[in-house]
Structure 1
């Protein structure tokens, strides 16, 4: 039903409205005893008042008969400011439907109410509709609720000598859009539709089979012509006659490092009955990656007490993948072609895979759907960090060498933010000089600050200050943010009590204390060695860090996750460090395929205009060789996965790289001298384990996947790719023949095989904490040895 509205005409409409207003159904208008003249006078007052207006509504194509009378008004003429703070776009509304002509129509008043609300928002320009019906008028209260009105409170209103107890209520555009009468807001679950889900299940299942087979947990049986099959184990309590026979069949090629290239479209799930149904053709059954994990739980080694947690992380990964695919199909995500000219943050938000090796790579347990939309890196939303003042004597601000407090504050806050926060502290009768200023993730403030740390807030050891002025974009690491407001401002990394990919994503004040010193040491090492400069390699220093330790959780006998909920660090921004004509991008982009399956790296290589082999040689010189040099010449290792490197790119060729996340993920493996405050960097391991920093983190964690993409896309077959890797190691050895085996002569990157360290096995074993951060080497799990693709 559509209703057309025209302005009130007192002379024309008085007779009709007198009949309506004196009908018993209109008793809450309190005019049932009015004469025609009194109604006419009332309507003339409405028409003459610029703060009010009357409207008659007619059903379009309904014979021209009016069915509803509406009054709109400025709420301030009736409602005191103490009861409702006025806002621009406020519009008061009174509604009266005409008595039914003939048999009452079911749902008629509901449809009229919806049309009146659309009139208020779309034609009268309201941002918020205000109503104040009599609290006894249960019929209209029900209609208001269905239209999205929210009851603020009951108040006493007096007009024309009459006082009523009114149910003061408001309805915004968003409230109405989400209401039953408004037709509902855009479906927040639109991404969870069958066609999207089928594609994501298939993609994740292919990844599960590929990575679990790579880690030698699963053992597909070869059928010939690149066809393989996995058989679901039968439960021990099921008889052979009862149990369905379930198999997964697919086409795949196995490349060096046992990298499985599975054709996703070939995946089928086959079911046949028990042994009592011989000769029956297998039926194709729906693919569900969660059901796959449950069926293979014992093979995967997931403990019973943790299987539901792992499934929840996988379900969250599935949901995120559905959201990304749905948005891409709706035209809201860039293609790989679009990314060729994109900036650092556009590429950052375009990443979809999470982690190339982990199956449950986007768990984010603790985020709601709204949190996902607001804070997930792939959403690319702007947000403002929340700030809290932390008492100086209960916290510690660490600063890098030559980086004073004034430098830190100038980087962390704009002058306006700092002055505003100092004023808020002073307004509470406190001295700003007694506090440090710490940023917090908005989620962390909502869920932790005033609950987990309520006693600290009550003592004013923590003083919530509200949102800052700068807008930030979340990065792939979830808890790191890039400042979009002030060019060149540092990254900010904050604590976040979200369970994701085997860890609670906290940030330790204890680790923060020494973080700038560790960064200074590593920066000095890199800057002091011209080999790194020649290779275009440098680090992004974490120049300042702040941690609060005044809470009760720091006084318990044993450590706990609550000690890692109030800390922050600031890291250098790479953009001011770029050379002429260079742009920056996350290295994770090299493993990215868009929703059409187009690989970004393949587009880059073609756009560069050079041979794929030359492009790869450039990349290995900027990525692999600096890491090899750090290990062999300095006994230093980084955590060089895709998200931890920012590549410098010029003319679609990689010309250098910035390493980040230095403080938490850099280690010294040898006996070299370290000062006491950075001694925690040391991790004494034998030579074969030293080499794993290249074999596991670089060869297996990054290059294996890159070689698979280039092979699948027909740019460079895997055997040729690994010959280029071997050539890159030879090039390094030719420049540094005395360092080819490391400082102690115990590292051999060209050995015949290496220990096969497995990542998914760690998460499957304990999805709550994959490894002991303080003793990572002894937490690792191995699956025999892996043939080295660059063996001599």
Structure 2
């Protein structure tokens, strides 16, 4: 059951007011709503035909950002009521989208209320380690329905979400090698080598006995952990014939306690923190997609890791200067469904049902005194409104602008070098990008994860990509150069810095214009460091006057809704916004 405060009217009202402010700001940013100025500075109104007129204060910012003040909203603000008032006039939502959206927003509000219950202050949050801090973060800053997790019941949400902060032992499955396939980096050439590193001898013996007790040869099976919810809701019913004939054999849970992270489907090992994380498919609709593991990408993950690591290790700037950490997806087990994986027109969720990716944890890469926090943590504010960023700056002893300069120096050079030198770009959003801090809480370097899902390549041929392995070439998405830069703009600048800039203006006394000037300064400094790449700076132009406006909420409301598709959706581009990096 949720904590008792989750039922309190006060907690719900506060969360609803904050969500309504977020909805107005993000829908206005994406051009879904058009608030009108009221004549006074920073005052706006939004009239619902046949309904109320909402009034509020809002600050405008870079990229056309709206920052709506929740306390200023009148009349009494409720995003659920607003949708019922405006769905067929201002928003023009079809009934099926409206129904599912109300459910997603209600689930998100429930999660927000749980997070607010006895939430630590910024100082206490700054003391938490990487795994524990993840359980206090509030989720995607841009998507309004950020924690919908359609498919989870209230009990599931209280057990398997990051805000539940509940560690669990994961059960495993043995799957016959006719269905299951193993891939690993050269250091993990066989599944047996992986299991020897991940599982104690007695656990491996117990797994082998469980297979032998079914009269089957353990050597003909691969093992992988499975999310308990996924087993009950998806694997047991959809793989029922394979379970019946012992092609899939349930195994006991291993001994390690694992904690779900912000992505919900990734678990960190608390019992043995230096062991690898596991990323498991979860047939839950959250943010924009079903959170499964695509079969072909799971197979290719170790090959992508090997290639990305080779780029870094062969480049002194990346390897020795920036010391960028690339958290490799070093091994995978993929399980084919005998029917669905051969049917390309069925909804894509049915081709992402069962598998596992083992990913390196950040801990072993940290030097003494270093600590890691996800980039999303910098946006977190406590109940009093104090940002974790402000607390870290206080601890560092540096002026706010100097701390920000160090942050940008840690984040941008490796990302820019991969883009300019290799035509390769990560999606460095708040969850995928991890900031490494020194003992004084000064940002010093970057760690990146999620390669196979979020690395994209230049569609235009580059000499540096001429020897790209076929497995990698066939797996990673390619984009034209003018869109490849969108992953840095949208993932980092729009998706994180758009929110960090006003926080820093309020709490670090660094005006927004100066904030963006520091970002531009970091880009230009990198370009000056590598003048031989000047043609690439023009090819991958981050300083163009305007950029396409990606619209994540429009995906849910209009482009994709809640319809099943055979392929994963892509973000909608609607119009353009001014680029704050264009001029000083």
Q: TM-score, normalised by structure 1?
A: 0.70
1:647 pairs, out of 419, 435, 449, with 435
Match of 1:662 in 2: 451
Structure 1 stretches lacking a partner, 5+ long: 1-185, 235-242, 270-285
1:373 pairs, out of 138, 141, 158, with 158
C-alpha separation between the residues in 1 aligned to 2:407 and 2:124?
21
Match of 2:582 in 1: 791
Match of 1:734 in 2: 528
The reply to whether residue 216 of structure 1 matches residue 40 of structure 2 is no
Aligned length: 572
Report how far residue 653 of structure 1 moved. 1.0
- Residue deviations 1:109-165 (CA, integer Å, cap 9, x gap): xxxxxxxxxxxxxxxxxxxxxxxxxxxxxxxxxxxxxxxxxxxxxxxxxxxxxxxxx
1:700 pairs, out of 485, 489, 494, with 494
C-alpha separation between the residues in 1 aligned to 2:246 and 2:286?
32
Report how far residue 714 of structure 1 moved. 4.5
The reply to whether residue 711 of structure 1 matches residue 498 of structure 2 is no
Cα distance, 1:460–1:682 mapped onto 2, change above 3 Å: closer
1:689 pairs, out of 483, 486, 490, with 483
The reply to whether residue 782 of structure 1 matches residue 584 of structure 2 is no
Report how far residue 657 of structure 1 moved. 1.4
Cα distance, 1:205–1:771 mapped onto 2, change above 3 Å: farther
| Aligned 1:96-135 pairs, distance under 5 A | none
1:750 pairs, out of 528, 543, 551, with 543
- Give the secondary structure class of the aligned counterpart of 2:488: helix
C-alpha separation between the residues in 2 aligned to 1:700 and 1:707?
10
Match of 1:494 in 2: 280
C-alpha separation between the residues in 1 aligned to 2:324 and 2:92?
40
The reply to whether residue 320 of structure 1 matches residue 111 of structure 2 is yes
Match of 2:363 in 1: 575
Match of 1:552 in 2: 339
The reply to whether residue 506 of structure 1 matches residue 309 of structure 2 is no
| Aligned 1:102-501 pairs, distance under 5 A | 190-234=5-49, 243=50, 245-269=51-75, 286-298=76-88, 299-325=90-116, 327-328=117-118, 333-352=119-138, 354-405=139-190, 406-501=192-287
- Give the secondary structure class of the aligned counterpart of 2:580: coil
1:601 pairs, out of 389, 393, 397, with 389
Q: Structure 1 stretch 223-232 or stretch 341-350: which is displaced more?
A: 223-232
Contact kept, 8 Å, 2:280 with 2:357, in 1: the verdict is: yes
Report how far residue 210 of structure 1 moved. 1.0
- Give the secondary structure class of the aligned counterpart of 1:268: coil
Q: TM-score, normalised by structure 2?
A: 0.94
Match of 1:540 in 2: 327
- Give the secondary structure class of the aligned counterpart of 1:643: coil
C-alpha separation between the residues in 2 aligned to 1:517 and 1:301?
45
Structure 2 stretches lacking a partner, 5+ long: none
In proportion to residue count, which structure has more helix?
A: 2
C-alpha separation between the residues in 1 aligned to 2:381 and 2:253?
36
Cα distance, 1:634–1:549 mapped onto 2, change above 3 Å: same
Report how far residue 189 of structure 1 moved. 5.9
C-alpha separation between the residues in 1 aligned to 2:375 and 2:201?
34
Aligned CA-pair RMSD: 2.0
- Residue deviations 1:407-458 (CA, integer Å, cap 9, x gap): 3113332222211111111122221111100110111122223222211100
Q: Structure with the greater relative contact order (CA < 8 A, sep ≥ 6): 1 or 2?
A: 2
Q: Which has the larger radius of gyration?
A: 1
- Give the secondary structure class of the aligned counterpart of 2:420: helix
Cα distance, 1:685–1:550 mapped onto 2, change above 3 Å: closer
Contact kept, 8 Å, 1:751 with 1:788, in 2: the verdict is: yes
